[in-house]
Amino acid sequence: QVRMVASGGGSLQAGGSLRLSCDVSGYVASGYCMAWFRQGASKEREKVATVDSYGMTTYADSVKGRFIISEGNPKKSLYLQMNSLKPEDTGTYYCAAASEWTAAAGRCPENVGEGDMQYWGKGTPVTISS
């Protein structure tokens, strides 16, 4: 059984940095597609960043140049380094992974989205004040 546990959220002022972590257990396949999503108040959950087993990463335009997604070796953890934080980054952050079948080729599907993710961690809240 795959289990994902996110941590590292907190409250801080704009301009600061946070590093989110996600401990992953039970995922045994060699190919994977993992991601961070976030959901702000009164907003839909949005994709923040993805990483696949080839190390390819993608980012939402709103976080490019500020956030870095990475994963541990072996696939036991997922990280999101968040720099130059802005109030609009406020929200609950979720780590997620696509199913072993979806990620069998080791890549994230094109335009991978929430519906492609099978495993989710409970969210960790991030609050950025101006």
- Are 38 and 85 in contact, with CB atoms under 8 Å apart? no
Over residues 88-113, the pLDDT tens digits come to 999 999 999 998 888 888 899 988 99
Instruction: Give the H or E element holding residue 39.
Output: strand 33-39
Cα(94)–Cα(19) distance, integer angstroms: 13
pLDDT for the residue 121: 96
Q: How confident is the model at residue 24 (pLDDT cuts 50, 70, 90)?
A: very high
